[in-house]
Amino acid sequence: MNVTDFDYDLPPRFIAQTPLEQRDASRLMRLDRATGAISHHRFADIETMLAANDVLVLNDSRVIPARLRARKAETGGAAEILLLKRIDDRRWQALVGGRNLRRGARLEVAWGVISCVIVEDLARGQRLIEFDRALDSKALGALGEMPLPPYIRAALADEERYQTVYSRVDGSAAAPTAGLHFTPDLLDRLRRKGVKLATCTLHIGLDTFQPVRVERVMEHKIHSEYARLDEDNARVINEAKGAGGRIISVGTTSARTLETAGSVSDRGRHQAVAAFEANTDLFITPGYKWRAVDAMISNFHLPRSTLLMMLSAFAGRERLLRAYEAAKEAGYRFYSFGDAMFVC
């Protein structure tokens, strides 16, 4: 497969710059992956598309205020740090912006309240940095800013709108955007209907949203992300599956976690998933044999991205790209603050 097989044209006017006032007022495209049939709805209508014993799997990761404005200790020149992954209390994997920043350079954050040193150059332009003291959640909350994706130019009035209402575990550099459409009231209505809710955790790095820059898909080095599915939530999923319900991933990050959990499950005991905690580098492309996920809720993704490849593996590449063209014709909003699709 060539990466160009997953390309499509998207004029900038389709890219949503701000979230809608009401989360579940977003539009929802329903795509039947067996027939290719498309219908148009509002996201709140998802309630009518789910049945008792279906289980929604939500990624409860929370976006950290990972953007730090900094200056070079020696010259005072401007710099910026984007934290991607915590290694330990003081060391982080990060992107570091600024001119002539080499290994050993010291950066000051908040006029010297805390500083760090560039320790090592990593793959894909990333750096290993080490702070002079622990950067805990309280300090990060005081010093950091919300790291919105680069295609969003507008300021975000309320930073909680880039968090899901069920976010709980700090660790992501970007939001699991398919979940942004849910409200507490919608989740309560689904529970009352008999839909089961399960959670997993996958901490999202920015590589998730980057276009693939090699020519051949399998030449791409997939990123690794921390993921976890605990015993209680694995039990909810397996019991629902055993009762005839569907496993519905809310977003590609939940899907990646579920499929990793499916790869370690005991098929002899008819388990769809098994509990695990590990870094996952699962790369899902067309031809992949799905183990756990029966349906998926997703936003509309970037051209040439691994997320578009995953959705193509689930719905079929040509069928998915036709749906994207239909979304453009109908005026759907794309990307993080955009509309959603239910692939079932």
Q: Which domain holds residue 299?
A: 3-63+157-343
Q: State the average pLDDT over residues 279-287.
A: 94
My answer on whether 299 and 196 are in the same domain is yes
My answer on whether 98 and 233 are in the same domain is no
Which of 85, 113, 143 is the endpoint of a domain? 143
Query: How high is the pLDDT of residue 220?
Result: 84
Q: At what angle do helices 252-263 and 306-315 cross, to 10 degrees?
A: 70
Instruction: Tell me the residue length of the chain.
Output: 344
My answer on whether 276 and 189 are in the same domain is yes
Q: In the structure encoding, which two tokens stand for residue 134, read together?
A: 């622990």
My answer on whether 99 and 192 are in the same domain is no
My answer on whether 54 and 74 are in the same domain is no
pLDDT digits (tens, 9 = 90+) for 174-212: 999 999 999 999 999 999 999 999 999 999 987 665 667
What is each CA distance from 33 to 37, 295, 328, 343, in whole angstroms? 8, 9, 19, 6
pLDDT digits (tens, 9 = 90+) for 87-144: 998 999 999 999 999 999 999 998 888 999 999 999 778 899 999 999 888 888 899 9
- Average pLDDT over the chain, rounded to an integer: 93
**pLDDT grade for 269, boundaries at 50, 70 and 90:** low
Q: State the average pLDDT over residues 321-339.
A: 98
Q: In the structure encoding, which two tokens stand for residue 263, read together?
A: 């790869």
My answer on whether 161 and 17 are in the same domain is yes
Q: To the nearest whole percent, how much of the chain has pLDDT over 70? A: 97
Helix (H) or strand (E) holding 336: none
CATH no. for residue 78? 2.40.10.240
My answer on whether 135 and 175 are in the same domain is no
152: nearest Cα among 140, 144, 143, 161:
161
Query: How high is the pLDDT of residue 208?
Result: 64
* Residue 257 Cα to chain centre, angstroms: 11
Residues 6+ apart with CB under 8 A from 104: 117, 118
Instruction: Tell me how many domains the chain contains.
Output: 2
Residues 6+ apart with CB under 8 A from 270: 242
My answer on whether 118 and 7 are in the same domain is no
Query: How high is the pLDDT of residue 213?
Result: 80
Pairwise pLDDT comparison (152 vs 211), residue with the higher score: 152
pLDDT at 268 over 90: no
My answer on whether 116 and 167 are in the same domain is no
**pLDDT grade for 221, boundaries at 50, 70 and 90:** confident
Q: Is residue 52 part of a domain?
A: yes
Q: State the average pLDDT over residues 301-316.
A: 95
**Whole-angstrom distance, CA of residue 216 vs CA of residue 207:** 17
Q: State the average pLDDT over residues 39-66.
A: 97
